[in-house]
Amino acid sequence: MHEDLKQDFEMAQVRHLLFKSKLRSALYGSGIAEAPIRDAQLCALGVWIRERALAAYAHLPESRELDKVHQQIHQEANRLLDLHQAGNVEQAIAGLASVQVYVDEITRLLRTMEQRLRTESPSLGR
């Protein structure tokens, strides 16, 4: 039985936005756990990518692109967290703008994947 497509991709999007929120909180000194921010494999979206995008949706070229961009956003997050830890707090916070490019790309890829899957199997989208 197929999981409802809309719900599946909404869950991925929520996980994605949660990452951005956690990164922002960490850079503003909230003391939030950094491991899921630093490690793409521990991140909730990273788990979804492994379990869904690279499994059930592996036939879509966007699934591999999503994995790649997800790795890149974590590399940038690590750079910003390292700046923050080195005492360059203002520079790290200013770097959040660079993260937005990846945020937007991941959102676009998720939408594209969902749309392609709906086109392939319209009954899945219901």
At 71-108, the pLDDT tens digits run 999 999 999 999 999 999 999 999 999 999 999 999 99
Is 111 a residue whose pLDDT tops 50? yes
Cβ(80)–Cβ(23) below 8 Å: yes
Domain boundaries, the chain: 5-28+36-118
Q: Out of 1.10.3470, 3.40.50, 1.25.40, 1.20.120, which CATH number does the structure's domain 5-28+36-118 have? A: 1.20.120
Q: Residue 65 class from Cβ within 10 Å (0-12 exposed, 13-18 middle, 19+ buried)?
A: middle
Global pTM reads 0.90
At 35-81, the pLDDT tens digits run 999 999 999 999 999 999 999 999 999 999 999 999 999 999 999 99
Cα–Cα distance, 98 to 58 (Å, whole number): 28
